[in-house]
Amino acid sequence: MSIARLATFAFSGIETLPVEVQVQISAGLPAFMVVGLPDKAVAESRERVRAALSGLGLSLPPKRVLVNLAPADIQKEGSHFDLPIALAVLAAMEIVPKEELAGFAALGELALDGAIGPVAGILPAALGAASRSLGLICPGAQGAEAAWAGEIEILAAHDLRQIIAHLTGRQLLEQPAAPSLQTGLAEGPCLSEVKGQESAKRALEIAAAGGHNLLLIGPPGSGKSMLAARLPRLLPDLTPREALEVSLVRSVAGLIEQGRISSRPPYRDPHHSASQAALVGGGPRAKPGEISLAHRGVLFLDEWPEFPRPALEALRQPLESGVCTISRAAAHVTYPARVQLVAAMNPCRCGHLGEQPRECGQAPRCGEQYQSRLSGPLLDRMDLTIGMAPIPPGELARAPRGESSSEVARRVQEARHRQQKRSGMVNAEASLEDLTADTAPDALALAERAATQLGLSSRGFTRCFRVARSIADLAGVPRIERPHMAEALAFRHRVPGQALR
C-alpha cells in the first residue's frame, strides 16, 4: 500500500513553511478524511476535491482515503491546499504518475467543476519552491507572478484537466513568463499645482529625502491632503530587493494582478474608519494590515485624530521597530512594516483654532481636547510638524506655479544617493552615534541646548539629528552644520500638551 506525496506550503507572515500532503488509500469502509491541524477552509477542501473529481468524471474509490498534512503541529489555513490534496489523491488513484509529482510543490483553490482559482501567496511559494529545487503547480491566472521566482518549472493551469494532461504527457503546458518590472516616475498630481505653502513644501521635500514622518496641521481647505498626495512622485524607485519585499507582502495579501510588480514605493491612504485589524493586520485569518502594505513606502493617515484610538496606538510599535507582530491564538505572525508615516489634521473640531476671527468660542480648549486624541508617544514619532495657514482665495488665483515634482524629485534622489553611499540606509534609520560623528560641534551644542528647552525625549533628540542629516544631504554638505540643526529643530513639534496651531 503506497502513499502519494506532494509538497505545498503554509504561510507565517511572508515566510513559507514547507508542508507535505500525504494520501493513503487503504481497504476499509469508504471515507475521505483530512488530518494534520486543518482549519475550516482546509477541512472544506474535502468537499471541493470530491466535487472537482466528479467534474472530471472520476469518483473517489470506495475505500478509506486518508489525507495527512505534515508536519501536524503547524496550523494549516486557507483554501490553497485544495489543489495539492486533489493532485496527491489523483496520484494515489494512479491517474497521474507519482514520480512526476515529486519535483513539484502545488497550491491553488478548486472550484466544483475542477477550475483552479487564484490564491494568496504565490510569489513566496514560488521562491520557497525554487529554494528547494522544486517546480510549482499554480493557478493559470498566477503563472506570471510565479515566474518572478526565476529559473523554475511552472505549471500554471486553469483547471485540473490541463494538469493531468501535462503530467501524463498528453498535452504540455507552456511555461509562463514574468512581465517586465514597472519602473519610472510615479504617476500622480504635480507639486507645481500647490501655490505658496513654501515651508510645507520644504518639509515635504526633507521628509521625502530621508524617509521621515510628517505631520501637517491646518484649517480646512489649506491644502494638506493636496500636498500629501504629491509625496509619491518625489520618492525614488525601490531597489530590486526592496521591490521584492513589497511584492511578497502584496502577494500574501492577494493583491498582485497578472504578475505585475512595480519598483515604485507603495502609497496607502486608508480611511479614518479603518479598524485596528485593517491598519496593523490580524483578524481570524491573519492578513497584512495597511502599515505592512505600505512597507518601504508611505502610509498617509488623513484626518488623523478621527482614527479609532486603539488602531492609532497599535501603530506605535511597528513605527519604531519596522515590523508588525500580530499575536494569535496559536502563534505570532510577523509582517514587515517599515513605513514613512504622513498624517494630516485640523487643529480642532471646527478647524479654525488660532485663526482670528473664525476661531470658535471654545478656543483654545477645543484644540487641546481634539489634539488629546493623539497620545504623546505617537506625536513623539513625528519628525517634522508643519502648521499650514490657508492661502487667501484672491492670492491663490494670482500666485505663480511652483517647482514641478520632477525638479524636487531630482534633489531627493541625489540626497538619497548620498545616504546610500555613506551608510547604505535611509536617514530615518540612521543611528545617533553615526549621526553625531558627522556633526559640527556648534550644531551639537545647539541640539543639546534645544533638547533641554523643548523637553525633547531621547527619541525626539535622535530624530532631530536624522532630519538635520537629510537637510545637510539636500544641501550636499558632508557634515551636519548649525543651520541644518536649527531648521530640523524648528520642524520639531513643541512641548507635549500644548495645542498645535
Ligand X SMILES: Nc1ncnc2c1ncn2[C@@H]1O[C@H](COP(=O)(O)OP(=O)(O)OP(=O)(O)O)[C@@H](O)[C@H]1O
CA angle, 370 as apex, 454 and 339 as ends, to 5°? Answer: 65
Q: Is 272 in the site for Mg ion (CB under 5 A)?
A: no
C-alpha cell at 423: 551608510
Closer Cβ to ligand X, 95 or 391, answer by number = 391
CA dihedral for 334, 335, 338, 343, sign (positive or negative):
negative
Q: Which does 194 bind (CB under 5 to 8 A by kind): ligand X, Mg ion, none?
A: ligand X
Q: Which does 391 bind (CB under 5 to 8 A by kind): Mg ion, ligand X, none?
A: ligand X
* Binders of Mg ion in range 217-236 (CB under 5 A): 225
Q: What is the 3-state composition of the chain as percent helix, strand, coil, each rounded to the nearest 5? A: 40, 20, 40
Smallest distance from ligand X to CB 462, Å: 30
Closer Cβ to ligand X, 350 or 382, answer by number = 350
Closer Cβ to Mg ion, 37 or 226, answer by number = 226
Query: Bridge partners of 167?
Result: none
Closer Cβ to ligand X, 27 or 397, answer by number = 397
Q: Is 423 in the site for Mg ion (CB under 5 A)?
A: no
Closer Cβ to Mg ion, 225 or 369, answer by number = 225
- Give the C-alpha separation, 88 to 140, whole Å: 19
Question: Between β-strands 332-336 and 154-157, what pairing exists: parallel, antiparallel or unpaired?
Answer: unpaired
- Give the C-alpha separation, 155 to 173, whole Å: 6
C-alpha cell at 1: 500500500
Smallest distance from ligand X to CB 309, Å: 20
Applying CB under 6 A, which residues contact ligand X? 194-197, 218, 220-226, 344, 346, 391, 396
Q: Which does 128 bind (CB under 5 to 8 A by kind): Mg ion, ligand X, none?
A: none
Closer Cβ to Mg ion, 53 or 228, answer by number = 228
Please identify the residue of the shown chain whose CB is closest to the bound ligand X. Answer: 223
Q: Which does 346 bind (CB under 5 to 8 A by kind): ligand X, Mg ion, none?
A: ligand X
DSSP assignment letter at 144:
H
Smallest distance from ligand X to CB 279, Å: 20
Question: Between β-strands 116-117 and 64-70, what pairing exists: parallel, antiparallel or unpaired?
Answer: unpaired
- Give the C-alpha separation, 293 to 299, whole Å: 9
Closer Cβ to ligand X, 214 or 248, answer by number = 214
- Give the C-alpha separation, 187 to 202, whole Å: 21
Smallest distance from Mg ion to CB 219, Å: 10
User: How many residues of this chain bind Mg ion (CB under 5 A)?
Assistant: 1
Residue corresponding to grid cell 538619497:
416
Smallest distance from ligand X to CB 405, Å: 14
C-alpha cell at 21: 500532503
Question: Between β-strands 281-282 and 287-288, what pairing exists: parallel, antiparallel or unpaired?
Answer: antiparallel
Smallest distance from ligand X to CB 350, Å: 11
Q: Which positions lie near Mg ion, rule CB under 5 A? A: 225
